[in-house]
Amino acid sequence: MSFFAENELSKIGLRIAFKQILITCIVVICFTLGIYFIWDISSAKSALIGGLIGIIPNIIFALKAFRYAGARSARKVVDSFFSGVKIKMVLTAILFSLAFKFLVIQPLPLFGMFCLVMVMPLLQPIINKQ
């Protein structure tokens, strides 16, 4: 069982997903730098961790969800999306628990950046007017 796309249609979807993730990474870096210059390094670290907690599960989801495409693999497409969502939710919970257990974080920047990462897919049509 491979995490990589199996046909050209799924590769197109995977490419779009990774473009969206790349834009999200750029936004997280820019906002983290802004937080560093406005507040302090501790807030910036917390914001970066919150961004990573949002981005890492999205990468895993994209790899899992965009493995199949096309009418012949309709059932596989649905199954891969559902299993991708399950993995994403569990991984997000694990990353949050690890962050709270082992890191000294500030909750406001952490949750603020995480929420920004979660909203980014809704803002992508505005950003990518193609």
Query: Would you say residue 26 has pLDDT above 80?
Result: yes
Q: Does residue 65 contact residue 84 with C-beta atoms inside 8 Å?
A: yes
Q: Work out the percent of the chain whose per-residue pLDDT is above 70.
A: 85
pLDDT in tens, 38-67: 999 999 999 999 999 999 999 998 888 777
Instruction: For Cα atoms 51, 54, 55, give the angle at the middle one, nearest 5 degrees.
Output: 85
Please state, rounded to an integer, the average pLDDT across all residues of the chain: 85
Residue 1 is predicted with a pLDDT of: 44
Residue listed under structure tokens 């999306």: 81
Nearest residue to 56 via CA among 24, 82, 12, 13: 24
pLDDT higher than 90, residue 32: yes
Determine contact, residues 42/106, Cβ cutoff 8 Å: yes
Token pair in block for residue 98: 């690890």
Listing DSSP states for 58-123 in one string gives HHHHHHHHTS--SGGGHHHHHHHHHHHHHHHHHHHHHHHHHHHHHS---HHHHHHHHHHHHHHHHH
Residue 77 has pLDDT above 80, yes or no: no
Question: Residue 68's pLDDT is what?
Answer: 65
Distances (CA, A) of 47 to 29, 101, 111: 9, 16, 8
